[in-house]
């Protein structure tokens, strides 16, 4: 852990499903891959991450995985997906919340707990960082943490993000915006 005086690193916080990997849509609602065998990295993601890292950003995935609490996914299956992502992509860390809304935890987005935890662990300056996500919960968590927010509009048939700094169509577009908007 670091103390408040050393929080000088910039980060890009990334939601997982719909940002890094393809989701399965069921009636317009996104669902995560069931296993590493179902995992498909979205086009442009590896290069976008390499570009962001080359500009000095820490890359931290912050993901809700409530299917563990709902007992429709196991911690082991989620861990295998995360291990694969860490082995194949430029990612510094993956932090996951396995709770459902009823658990009222501090780590489930839209609460900013995962971002605050990462900021503490990696010395991240939240106001100079970005949150990239595809759901309203991501935007709210980023906003509450004090980050600038980029919403990837995937056209889901659910509650839409209304409060965000930038609307983009992919992580590739988000990286371009971030690099154009970054403070020196």
pLDDT in tens, 74-83: 889 999 999 9
Q: Give the domain 4-170 fold.
A: Rossmann fold (3.40.50)
Residue 55 corresponds to which tokens in the numbers above? 């500009």
Q: Is residue 17 annotated as part of the catalytic site, yes or no?
A: yes
> Under 8 Å CB-to-CB from 161, ≥6 apart: which residues?
133, 135, 136, 138, 139, 151, 153
pLDDT band, very low/low/confident/very high, at 6 (cuts 50, 70, 90): low
- 3, 15, 101, 120: the active-site residue: 15
Q: Taking the domains of the chain in order of start, what are their residue ranges?
A: 4-170
pLDDT at 115 over 50: yes
pLDDT band, very low/low/confident/very high, at 69 (cuts 50, 70, 90): confident
Write down the mean pLDDT value for the chain. 93
Using DSSP, state whether 61 is helix, strand or coil.
strand
- 17, 100, 125, 153: the active-site residue: 17
For residue 176, how many other CB atoms are within 10 A of its CB? 14
What does the pLDDT read at residue 182?
60
Phi, psi of 141 (to 5 degrees): -65, -45
CA nearest 29: which of 13, 42, 17? 17
Q: Is residue 138 annotated as part of the catalytic site, yes or no?
A: no
CA nearest 66: which of 57, 58, 75? 75
For residue 67, how many other CB atoms are within 10 A of its CB? 17
pLDDT band, very low/low/confident/very high, at 96 (cuts 50, 70, 90): very high
CA nearest 156: which of 136, 132, 177, 141? 136
pLDDT at 152 over 90: yes
Residue 57 corresponds to which tokens in the numbers above? 């950003």
What radius of gyration, in Å, describes the C-alpha atoms of the chain? 15
For residue 66, how many other CB atoms are within 10 A of its CB? 17
Q: Do 58 and 126 meet the contact criterion of CB atoms below 8 Å apart? A: no
pLDDT at 1 over 50: no
> Under 8 Å CB-to-CB from 120, ≥6 apart: which residues?
1, 2
For residue 64, how many other CB atoms are within 10 A of its CB? 26
**What is the mean predicted confidence (pLDDT) over 155-163?**
94
């Amino acid at each position: 852990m670091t103390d408040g005086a050393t929080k000088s690193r910039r980060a890009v916080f990334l939601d997982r499903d719909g940002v890094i990997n393809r989701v399965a849509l069921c009636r317009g609602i996104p669902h995560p891959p069931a296993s590493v065998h179902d995992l498909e990295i979205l086009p442009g993601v590896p290069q976008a991450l390499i570009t962001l890292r080359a500009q000095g950003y820490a890359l931290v995935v912050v993901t809700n995985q409530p299917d563990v609490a709902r007992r429709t996914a196991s911690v082991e299956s989620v861990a295998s997906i995360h291990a694969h992502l860490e082995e194949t992509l430029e990612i510094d860390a993956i932090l996951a919340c396995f709770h459902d809304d009823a658990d009222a935890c501090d780590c489930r987005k839209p609460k900013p707990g995962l971002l605050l935890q990462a900021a503490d662990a990696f010395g991240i300056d939240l106001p100079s960082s970005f949150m990239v996500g595809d759901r309203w919960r991501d935007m709210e968590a980023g906003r509450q943490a004090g980050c600038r927010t980029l919403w990837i509009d995937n056209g889901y048939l659910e509650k839409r993000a209304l409060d965000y700094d930038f609307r983009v169509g992919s992580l590739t577009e988000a990286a371009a915006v971030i690099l154009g908007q970054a403070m020196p």
